[in-house]
């Protein structure tokens, strides 16, 4: 159906204010945002990234796309002539702004925008979407809250500090190598409003007075740390590099990291493991075990040459609860150009063979490079599994980030424990001896109801 505006309707029961005339005061951008954007998405990477509000296959002229890219990090400050109601309201800012860095990765965010802009405000004005802060590079932020074209400029608010404005939507849709990444690009509000204050001061004498109306940045209550440390479990994620291949991993013991076989396939190979929080650390290790190609469990185990100081070791879970809130932490999308990304969703399926969980599925956004990374219970921080892959449709070639597969930690835990305590790798050999029904599951095949009977 085409998108044609219908007659005004009041289905949400809230009469909108009539549109008010406004005047453009200035266009502004945040230099630090543009610098990080050029670093992460410019240069060689530019070919791969696409931010236009239309899908890569839609007809958008190159000029139009170039305009959109140039304007991506720009925002506009408007003055709006108040109506009688606004005259009655008290003066002054309507909200507070979270300082840059006050909201950590993994923290919940609420995006508020109007999909399709002014097309049908009765239906779409101030539509909400929830997610988390997935990644940050200076004032360039990413969230996995779903946003649509038309929400550019919409506000993104934090649960903590309560109701603080954190950012504005810069690009609702990001496409990498023609695939939707499922992350929305944001510009942090605090540096943007600082830029606005500076610009108003240089505009004309009357404009400087407007700077006092801009919402203030929140200070930290006395004695309280401003920076919320965020979920401690996220720090267990590591980037794993083996030769030219890189992926993600998770620390499961002081000298032990688990990743995927397709990240570190060769036994005895040297591997570099990087952690970014609480402090950046690089440690060499060796692959002590990697499953065979024929094993359904795509797993490799790396023994480090030194202890992991200060990196939390997550608690492996013993139970899985379909529907529970989960988080994936991995180095997909940006690799080492940025720290790990956090995306959230729910545990959408626990596939079992003979009452034993052998595969987990989630709705988190999982990208190439996230393989080997940890899947956590968002509430408890327990380690649920090791991310192995997302989904690709072999017919169309399309990739689906929000349907992905992890290996339950309960499959690995006995072998990990045995190796940590005795150095015996024997337990891991079981992973190469998985039964045929488990293989069928991981080949995404339908299990045969019963073995076909011979007709001889």
Partner 1 sequence: MGRQWGPAMRAAEQAGCVVSASRAGLPEADSWSCSGVILSRSPGLVLCHGGIFTPFLRAGSGALTAAGAAFLPGDSCGDDLRLHVQWGPTAASPAGRAERGRPGLCTPQC
As annotated, the active-site residues are 262, 298, 371
CA-wise closest residue to 218 among 262, 166, 153:
166
Q: Is 15 in the site for partner 1 (CB under 8 A)?
A: yes
Q: Is 153 in the site for partner 1 (CB under 8 A)?
A: yes
Q: Which stretch binds partner 1 (CB under 8 A): 16-24, 235-243, 251-259, 326-334?
A: 16-24
Q: Which is nearer to partner 1, 34 or 439 (CB)?
A: 34
- 235 vs 250: CA distance, rounded Å: 9
- 175 vs 328: CA distance, rounded Å: 20
Minimum gap (Å) between residue 149 Cβ and partner 1 = 9
Q: Is 125 in the site for partner 1 (CB under 8 A)?
A: yes
Q: Each residue of 314-342: b (16+ CB within 10 Å) or e?
A: bebbeebeeeebbbbbbbbbbeeebbbbb
CA-wise closest residue to 173 among 374, 401, 381, 17:
401
Q: Which stretch binds partner 1 (CB under 8 A): 148-156, 370-378, 382-390, 401-409?
A: 148-156
User: Cβ neighbours of residue 455 under 8 Å, at least 6 residues apart?
Assistant: none
* Phi and psi torsions of 207, nearest 5°: -70, -30
The correct pick among 39, 54, 60, 68 for binding partner 1 (CB under 8 A) is: 68
Q: Which is nearer to partner 1, 168 or 300 (CB)?
A: 168
The correct pick among 130, 255, 418, 439 for binding partner 1 (CB under 8 A) is: 130
User: Cβ neighbours of residue 283 under 8 Å, at least 6 residues apart?
Assistant: 272, 273, 275, 304, 305, 306, 308
Minimum gap (Å) between residue 28 Cβ and partner 1 = 4
Of 188-227, binders to partner 1 (CB under 8 A) are: 189, 192-193, 195-196, 198-199, 202-203, 210, 213-215
Q: Which is nearer to partner 1, 199 or 269 (CB)?
A: 199
The correct pick among 2, 43, 81, 323 for binding partner 1 (CB under 8 A) is: 81
Of 94-123, binders to partner 1 (CB under 8 A) are: 94-95, 108, 110, 112-114, 116-119, 121
- 356 vs 335: CA distance, rounded Å: 34
Q: Is 61 in the site for partner 1 (CB under 8 A)?
A: no
Q: Is 379 in the site for partner 1 (CB under 8 A)?
A: no
Burial classification of residue 19, based on how many CB atoms lie within 10 Å of its CB (0-12 exposed, 13-18 middle, 19 or more buried): exposed
The answer to whether the beta carbons of residues 365 and 358 sit under 8 Å apart is no
Q: Is 56 in the site for partner 1 (CB under 8 A)?
A: no
């Amino acid at each position: 159906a085409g998108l044609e505006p219908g007659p005004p309707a009041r289905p949400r029961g809230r009469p909108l204010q009539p549109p008010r005339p406004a005047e453009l005061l200035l266009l502004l951008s945040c230099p630090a945002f543009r610098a990080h954007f050029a670093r992460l998405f410019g240069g060689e990477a530019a070919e791969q990234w696409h931010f236009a509000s239309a899908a890569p296959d839609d007809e958008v002229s190159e000029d139009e796309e170039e305009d959109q890219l140039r304007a991506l990090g720009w925002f506009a400050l408007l003055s709006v002539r108040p109506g009688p109601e606004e005259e009655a309201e008290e003066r002054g800012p309507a909200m507070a702004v979270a300082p840059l860095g006050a909201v950590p990765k993994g923290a919940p965010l609420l995006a508020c925008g109007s999909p399709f802009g002014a097309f049908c405000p009765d239906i779409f004005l101030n539509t909400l979407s929830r997610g988390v802060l997935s990644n940050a590079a200076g004032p360039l932020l990413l969230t996995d809250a779903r946003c649509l074209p038309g929400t550019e400029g919409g506000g993104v608010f934090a649960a903590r500090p309560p109701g603080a404005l954190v950012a504005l939507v810069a690009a609702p849709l990001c496409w990498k190598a023609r695939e939707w990444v499922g992350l929305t690009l944001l510009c942090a509000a605090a540096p943007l409003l600082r830029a606005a204050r500076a610009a108003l001061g240089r505009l004309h004498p009357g404009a400087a007075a407007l700077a006092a109306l801009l919402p203030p940045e929140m200070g930290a209550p006395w004695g309280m740390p401003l920076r919320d440390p965020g979920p401690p479990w996220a720090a267990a994620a590591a980037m794993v590099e083996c030769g030219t291949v890189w992926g993600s991993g998770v620390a499961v013991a002081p000298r032990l990291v688990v990743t995927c076989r397709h990240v570190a396939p060769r036994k005895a190979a040297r591997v570099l493991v990087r952690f970014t929080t609480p402090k950046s650390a690089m440690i060499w290790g060796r692959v002590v075990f990697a499953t065979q190609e024929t094993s359904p469990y795509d797993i490799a185990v790396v023994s480090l040459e030194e202890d992991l100081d200060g990196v939390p070791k997550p608690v492996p879970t013993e139970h899985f609860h379909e529907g529970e809130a989960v988080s994936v932490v991995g180095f997909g999308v940006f690799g080492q150009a940025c720290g790990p990304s956090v995306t959230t969703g729910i545990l959408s399926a626990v596939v079992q063979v003979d009452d034993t969980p052998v595969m987990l599925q989630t709705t988190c956004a999982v990208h190439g490079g996230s393989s080997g990374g940890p899947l956590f219970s968002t509430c408890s921080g327990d380690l649920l599994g090791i991310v192995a892959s997302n989904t690709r449709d072999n017919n169309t070639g399309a990739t689906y980030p929000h349907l992905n597969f992890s290996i339950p930690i309960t499959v690995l835990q006995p072998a990990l424990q045995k190796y940590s305590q005795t150095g015996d790798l024997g337990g891991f050999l079981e992973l190469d001896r998985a039964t045929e029904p488990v293989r069928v599951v991981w080949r995404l095949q339908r299990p045969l109801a019963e073995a076909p009977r011979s007709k001889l």
